[in-house]
Chain A
Amino acid sequence: MTSQRDWRGLLFVAPFLLLYSIILIFPLLRGLWLSLNQVDLFGAGHFVGLGNYARLLDDPIFGTSLVNTFVVTLMIVPALTVIALALALALNRASRSAAIFRGIFFSSAVLSVTIVTLIWRFMLAPDAGFLGFLAKAFGGEPLPFLSDEHLVLPALAITTIWWSVGFPMLLFLAGLQQIPEDMYEAAALDNAGRWTTFWRITLPSLRRTVVLVVMLQTAAQLQLFGQSQLLTAGGPSGASRTAVLFLFETAFGRWELGYASAAAEVLFLLILAVTLTQYWATGQSKEASNGR
């Protein structure tokens, strides 16, 4: 390899590298720099070192928003994964009605968050909402989903699951189609019942899809924002304020750009840590199952 050759190679990737640096690397570093400064929209700002991070540690609102974020993610991801898988199993057939239902269940995924929250406002409102109506019809009291601090996160979770179930369902359907038919025929000849076939054939074959869905959804739900802002604006009394909503309010409500950037960096590191932990854990369990 001559150095001349190296330069020619670099020329080929230069356009991409340039674009990548401008729209990804630079903002990333700029954000990191911002987080070390106290800046508002108008002044030049001044360097405060790790001051913003120290402040975050003592900020109960930020702390609560992080807890809310993790709680709602824990509510959403397992349920979403199971429901998407169940739908995929039910709709993995060539019939016309299955195709129609696949379309229906995926359709919510194409809606904007504005529409989704509007729909669920109608569903969840205690007096006029559909769930309230149902509760009354069965002689119960309508639950104040959006104004009770214990019910508001489940309400967010339900809304989010309804909105996001389509894509994981598609991933599971794609995974199911990958399982060769003769595997099921072999299982039938091996006297495996439906339940055994599901646990010993289908689920292990979908292992990689399950990992993918859980990791994608975890990373996505840790950034939950629109639903919380539009349904409840983080209320009542911050019970549904998520980390990204905290960011948004700090940056674009109070214009504390440096402080918001610091919070963003913390959230980024947390998501990275969670994702890497999941990745590591699946590697471990795979090794364990290989060693059997």
Chain B
Amino acid sequence: MASLELKGIRKSFGSTPVLDNIDLAIDAREFIAFLGPSGSGKSTLLRIIAGLESADAGEVWLEGRRIDALPPGERGVAMVFQHYALYPHMSVRENMAFGLRNARVGKEEIERRIQDAAAVLEIEPLLERKPAEMSGGQRQRVAIGRALVKEPKLFLLDEPLSNLDAALRLRTRVELAQLKRRVDAAVIMVTHDQAEAMTLADRIVVMNDRRIQQVGAPMEIYTRPANVFVAQFVGSPAMTLADAELVGDGRYATLKMGDGATVETRVKRDGLSSSGQLRIGLRPEMVRVGGNEAKAKVELVERLGERTLVYARLSNGQAITAEDEGDSKVKIGDEVPLKIDGAAAHVFDAEGTGHHRSDA
């Protein structure tokens, strides 16, 4: 059963459109990530769901109830703000109780929920403290606790990890994943960090340029990107995109790149028009140093320990990113042979739509 449904949401700020006809359905207990660059409209969409912004057109439904005309406090949603937005003059306990008191929840019930949430989040010793007396990670937990006690049908998390340092971010990510299994609610998280989206979400909603670009499970987004934007935005380092033309005539498309190298893909030929400009998409792990399919001049080497990233240029000037072993001997300026795994390659047509390997 759909938990949250968005129907035809539109929003402009003045004459600048920020969201254009957004449709989305989320299942109960599903963890959704809105992933996109700054200005893609993802935060605005979250705020529209929360009721902090009003949409120009469209409907928001939560568990069969239309909520877009309701004030934020009556929608059955709870939000964790990017900067936590804890009330500085209230203790942790008061911060958590404030919303419940306003909703006229009974005293004992409030106390029970606070104790439960504090136990889950391990913040029991902090209950009498003020936000100023806590670390960033502790404030983050309190902010989550304040959302938890409301027992909402939908959690909204606005860039929840962006204010934490790298180590704490990893730990909190794990905790969020555990938390998600405990709560009986759907979760929407806004993030511009694809690693967060990939690791936490059941489904990712990739947004750019006012629209939803693709909705799918993390690996689906990664392995079958709907278009050039998704292909380039998800995955780090970014996928190599090279102009290519169709050659030969088999069941699957064979493409010739600008430097003359041919790549036999597993993309069905019928779906592609032979006239339009095509681009081939290659993730770094599909291009290995070695073999003899292409030659490239190395411009930059990144040693990451377990693998080495090689940024190089083909003879026609096309940039390409390749991978090598962790103990790679490749140096800047080397001419290296490349082995391209065409079976995993993606093809993008003139409109930017992605075509992927078909196993059928």
Q: Does A200 belong to the interface (CB within 8 Å)?
A: yes
Cβ-defined contact, A207 with B102, below 8 A: no
Cβ-defined contact, A183 with B79, below 8 A: no
Contact A182 to B98, CB < 8 A, known contacts A188-B71, A188-B72: no
Q: Does B216 belong to the interface (CB within 8 Å)?
A: no
Q: Does B83 belong to the interface (CB within 8 Å)?
A: yes
Residue among B73, B90, B130 making CB contact with A189, cutoff 8 Å: B73
Considering the chains assembled together, what is the distance between the CA atoms of A193 and B71 in angstroms?
10
Set of chain A residues within 8 Å of B102, measured between Cβ atoms: 190-193, 196
Cβ-defined contact, B85 with A186, below 8 A: yes
List residues of B (67-94) whose CB comes within 8 Å of A's CBs: 71-74, 77-79, 81-83, 85-91
Cβ-defined contact, A183 with B89, below 8 A: no
Q: Does B52 belong to the interface (CB within 8 Å)?
A: yes
Q: Does B103 belong to the interface (CB within 8 Å)?
A: yes
List residues of B (137-158) whose CB comes within 8 Å of A's CBs: 146
Contact with A along B88-123 (1 / 0, CB 8 A): 111100000011001100000000000000000000
Contact A190 to B81, CB < 8 A, known contacts A205-B88, A207-B89: no
Cβ-defined contact, A201 with B87, below 8 A: yes
List residues of A (191-228) whose CB comes within 8 Å of B's CBs: 191-193, 196, 200-201, 204-205, 207
Set of chain B residues within 8 Å of A283, measured between Cβ atoms: none
Contact A200 to B98, CB < 8 A, known contacts A185-B81, A188-B73, A191-B73: yes
Set of chain B residues within 8 Å of A191, measured between Cβ atoms: 71-74, 99, 102-103
Cβ-defined contact, B98 with A192, below 8 A: yes
Contact A188 to B98, CB < 8 A, known contacts A182-B83, A205-B89: no
Considering the chains assembled together, what is the distance between the CA atoms of A187 and B86 in angstroms?
10
Contact A185 to B52, CB < 8 A, known contacts A191-B73, A192-B73: yes
List residues of B (340-358) whose CB comes within 8 Å of A's CBs: none
Considering the chains assembled together, what is the distance between the CA atoms of A183 and B52 in angstroms?
12
Q: Does A9 belong to the interface (CB within 8 Å)?
A: no
Considering the chains assembled together, what is the distance between the CA atoms of A290 and B94 in angstroms?
12
Contact A186 to B87, CB < 8 A, known contacts A191-B74, A191-B103, A200-B98: yes
Cβ-defined contact, B98 with A189, below 8 A: no
Cβ-defined contact, A182 with B73, below 8 A: no
Set of chain B residues within 8 Å of A187, measured between Cβ atoms: 87, 98
Q: Does B35 belong to the interface (CB within 8 Å)?
A: no
Cβ-defined contact, A189 with B72, below 8 A: yes
Set of chain A residues within 8 Å of B146, measured between Cβ atoms: 186
Residue among A189, A192, A196, A207 making CB contact with B79, cutoff 8 Å: A189
Considering the chains assembled together, what is the distance between the CA atoms of A71 and B98 in angstroms?
40
Q: Does A139 belong to the interface (CB within 8 Å)?
A: no
Contact A180 to B73, CB < 8 A, known contacts A188-B51, A205-B89: no
Q: Does B50 belong to the interface (CB within 8 Å)?
A: yes
Cβ-defined contact, B85 with A182, below 8 A: yes
Set of chain A residues within 8 Å of B99, measured between Cβ atoms: 189-192
Contact with B along A257-292 (1 / 0, CB 8 A): 000000000000000000000000000000001101
Question: Which bracket fits the contact residues of B?
Answer: 20 to 34
Set of chain A residues within 8 Å of B82, measured between Cβ atoms: 182
Considering the chains assembled together, what is the distance between the CA atoms of A188 and B103 in angstroms?
12
Contact with B along A65-88 (1 / 0, CB 8 A): 000000000000000000000000
Residue among A185, A192, A204, A289 making CB contact with B85, cutoff 8 Å: A185
Contact with B along A160-191 (1 / 0, CB 8 A): 00000000000000000000101101111111
Set of chain B residues within 8 Å of A201, measured between Cβ atoms: 87
Cβ-defined contact, A204 with B89, below 8 A: yes
The closest CB in chain B to the CB of A201 belongs to B87
The closest CB in chain B to the CB of A184 belongs to B85
Cβ-defined contact, B77 with A189, below 8 A: yes
Set of chain A residues within 8 Å of B89, measured between Cβ atoms: 204-205, 207, 289
Cβ-defined contact, A182 with B74, below 8 A: no
Set of chain A residues within 8 Å of B81, measured between Cβ atoms: 182, 185-186
The closest CB in chain B to the CB of A207 belongs to B89
The closest CB in chain B to the CB of A200 belongs to B98
Considering the chains assembled together, what is the distance between the CA atoms of A205 and B89 in angstroms?
7
Set of chain B residues within 8 Å of A186, measured between Cβ atoms: 79, 81, 85-87, 146
The closest CB in chain A to the CB of B93 belongs to A292
Considering the chains assembled together, what is the distance between the CA atoms of A97 and B50 in angstroms?
30
Cβ-defined contact, A189 with B83, below 8 A: no
Most-contacted residue by chain B among A180, A185, A289 (CB, 10 A): A185
Cβ-defined contact, A183 with B85, below 8 A: yes
What's the least CB distance linking B360 to chain A, in Å? 48
Set of chain A residues within 8 Å of B103, measured between Cβ atoms: 191
Considering the chains assembled together, what is the distance between the CA atoms of A191 and B152 in angstroms?
13
Considering the chains assembled together, what is the distance between the CA atoms of A105 and B72 in angstroms?
35
Considering the chains assembled together, what is the distance between the CA atoms of A180 and B85 in angstroms?
8
Set of chain A residues within 8 Å of B91, measured between Cβ atoms: 292
Set of chain B residues within 8 Å of A204, measured between Cβ atoms: 87, 89-90
Considering the chains assembled together, what is the distance between the CA atoms of A188 and B72 in angstroms?
6
What's the least CB distance linking B100 to chain A, in Å? 8
Set of chain A residues within 8 Å of B88, measured between Cβ atoms: 205
Set of chain A residues within 8 Å of B85, measured between Cβ atoms: 180, 182-183, 185-186
Set of chain B residues within 8 Å of A292, measured between Cβ atoms: 91
Considering the chains assembled together, what is the distance between the CA atoms of A186 and B51 in angstroms?
11
What's the least CB distance linking A177 to chain B, in Å? 16
Identify 9 residue pairs between A and B in the complex whose beta-carbon atoms are under 8 Å apart, listed by A's number: A186-B81, A188-B73, A191-B102, A192-B73, A192-B98, A200-B98, A204-B89, A204-B90, A292-B91
Given A186-B86, A191-B99, A201-B87, 16 extra CB contacts under 8 A: A182-B85, A183-B87, A186-B85, A188-B73, A189-B50, A189-B51, A189-B78, A189-B79, A189-B99, A191-B72, A192-B73, A192-B99, A196-B102, A200-B90, A204-B90, A205-B88
List the 7 closest A-B pairs by CB distance, nearest first. Answer: A191-B73, A190-B99, A182-B85, A204-B89, A186-B85, A191-B102, A188-B72
